[in-house]
Structure 1
Amino acid sequence: MKSFAIAFALLLVASTHAQQGYPTKPIRIIVPLAAGSAVDNAARIVAERMSRNMGQGIVIENKPGAAGLIGATDVAKAAPDGYTLGGFNDSIMTMVPNMTAKMPWDILKDFEPVSLVATVEWGLVVTATAPEKTAADLIASAKKAPGKIDYGSGGNGSPQHIAMALFASQAGVQMQHVPYKGATQAAVGVGAGEVLTAMQGISTVKPLIQSGKVRLLGVTTPKRMPQFPDVPTVGESGLPGFEFNSWFALMAPAGTPKGIVNRLAEEVKKALEDPEVKAKLDAQGLTPRGTSPEELGVATKGQLVKYGELIRKNGITSE
């Protein structure tokens, strides 16, 4: 018994020392999405500043596939030592789990929340030649022709699909879903007039807005965006109370020491306070957040319930 107590004490001391000296080697952040996506861009911007502040390299590793399940599974199975983290969007965290019967992990049990890093702000767009000028116009068109207005998304169960399903549900209209192979392809489809409309992350459609190929009817933020001061919110231009955005959050494998989790959350917040980081995120249509691990945990649970109800109500699947 005495030898066990001594061994336990030595283990505790070693663990505490490891946390105090953290990090002593490069950190890997697995992003289960393609390079160039909004989450990937945000991860690289924030990680670069965190790396400088922490004095250790931070490597971004893209592992897309299976709606993010492949990369997220690697994070769940990684050693809980703070050297493998996940850069997840809210689709991976709260949408996919509501559409997949056999999940390889449980977002609430197999991961430690670190921090909500940034939100990707979204907008409602139509092809440039469309007669609709506001969200109210689009709703009116959909009511006149139930099921005839088509919208594009990045695929069945994608955030674009969920966002427009939420819009249609709150507006009380029926619209036709046209899934593409990705968010960018769906945005291009709107620009080419293949589909009339889409709900998209601003960073994805900004080049098309600037080139005049799509028209931004409204933003889905609570208030107007500084980038588009003349564009109303969807809430004020046709659907009161409507809001939608997507997340970029940092997660760690379950069992990662609390001291390391808190240190990472503090480093995220510190990086987001840097003016250069803020400017870069703003240029991507991203809003810096920074939360405690506890706040991210509460938000994740809330979104799981919210999207679960929406997905079941609309019969949305990832098939």
Structure 2
Amino acid sequence: MFRFMSTVVCTALLCAATQVYAAYPDKTIRMIIPLAAGSAVDNAARVLAERMSANMGVSIILENEPGASGQIGASQVARAAPDGYTIGGFNDSIMTMLPNVRSHLPWDILKDFEPVSLVATVEWGLVASRESPYQSAADVIKAAKASPGKINYGSGGIGSPQHIAMALFSADAGISLRHVPYKGATQAAVAVAGNEVSLAFQGLATVTALVNTEKVRLIGVTTPSRMPQYPNVPTISESGLKGFQFNSWFTIVAPAGTPKNIIDRLNAEVVKALKDPKVIERYAHFGLTPRGSTAQELGAETRSQLARYHKLIHDAGIAVN
């Protein structure tokens, strides 16, 4: 009798829980972006959230929480209730770079978050101030070898993708540049436009408007071949640093413990949104390539990239004070 009643009670509870989760979502979802507005991830997230909101019938609001190279916003996601109503829009800096340059983070990327989906890869370029003399990566390398440590560059903070990209570029070229960290990628891009710094590696989604309005000079792209949007801009590889490539990625994650059926629903909605022709078109405009993945694939890629960047950062001698 006890076993029968227990089974009935457990079944009833399971059914009730299933019904609650089956109703998901029935209220506004917060997507925390641990980066500044106007960054590559922010641009990608706004396009994605707009399409997902329309498809799901609920609002998805974006909250930018920049600072400490993404630690602040990521911490908010890690501490949020695992109910699917707070999710994070993270870049690979937060996922795989920051854990390799910061020894004491307030969260563990593999333990405190549930992967949802890879969203897009971000193509990158090297931009220079219009007042600088640099027309190509070769010009930068030549000038830096003549005056070590004199040329300054901006980044979105220590351990940010902009920092890692330039550190890898400098290590490969055998040059020394002066690092000027900003609060976010957008601020670093504005600093180049305002001639506060001479250079920056940036996701093209962040600097497209600045390039198109000629407020900064795009002097190289980090893709294997020239980009159709910028046919006259050489790759870094062909203009002074053979084989150099770099890109980054944008993902959706949830707090650890978020139920699998909610993760599955979010994943399905992300993948569905990325197939929309208007999303694809807008992503191309920003220099973004839509991807989509299973949660398991994102988890595996995160572990792989953590190991890859551990080696790259160690070999390049990148350190955080």
TM-score by length of 2: 0.88
8 A Cα contact 1:85 1:250, kept in partner:
yes
Partners in 2 of 1:58 and 1:251 — Cα distance?
14
Partners in 1 of 2:112 and 2:51 — Cα distance?
28
Letter in 2 for 1:309: K
Partner of 1:287: 289
Partner of 2:84: 82
Partners in 1 of 2:36 and 2:149 — Cα distance?
32
| Cα distance per residue 1:198-240 (max 9 Å; x no partner) | 2112233333323334321211123322221221222233223
2:185 to 178, 183, 186: 183
| Cα distance per residue 1:172-198 (max 9 Å; x no partner) | 322222333443343333334443322
Partners in 2 of 1:153 and 1:196 — Cα distance?
11
Asked if residue 44 in structure 1 is aligned to residue 56 in structure 2, the reply is: no
CA positional deviation for 1:250 = 0.4
Structure 2 counterpart SS, 1:249: strand
| Cα distance per residue 1:92-124 (max 9 Å; x no partner) | 222222232322211111111111112222101
Change (3 A) 1:179 1:34: closer
Letter in 2 for 1:201: G
| Cα distance per residue 1:139-166 (max 9 Å; x no partner) | 2333344333332223332221111001
Partners in 1 of 2:13 and 2:242 — Cα distance?
57
Partner of 2:8: 6
Partners in 1 of 2:186 and 2:176 — Cα distance?
24
Partner of 2:245: 243
Partners in 1 of 2:184 and 2:238 — Cα distance?
29
TM-score by length of 1: 0.89
Change (3 A) 1:10 1:120: same
Runs of 5+ unmatched residues, structure 2: none
Change (3 A) 1:78 1:155: closer
Runs of 5+ unmatched residues, structure 1: none
Partner of 1:32: 34
Change (3 A) 1:231 1:167: same
Partners in 2 of 1:29 and 1:182 — Cα distance?
18
Q: How many residues align?
A: 319
2:256 to 254, 257, 278: 254
Partners in 1 of 2:40 and 2:207 — Cα distance?
11
Partners in 1 of 2:32 and 2:186 — Cα distance?
21
Map 1:115-130 onto structure 2 (within 5 A).
Answer: 115-130=117-132
CA positional deviation for 1:86 = 1.0
8 A Cα contact 2:68 2:183, kept in partner:
no
CA RMSD of aligned residues (A): 2.4
1:169 to 168, 171, 174: 171
Structure 1, 84-93 or 191-200: larger mean CA deviation:
191-200
Structure 2 counterpart SS, 1:103: coil
Partners in 2 of 1:51 and 1:168 — Cα distance?
42
Asked if residue 224 in structure 1 is aligned to residue 226 in structure 2, the reply is: yes
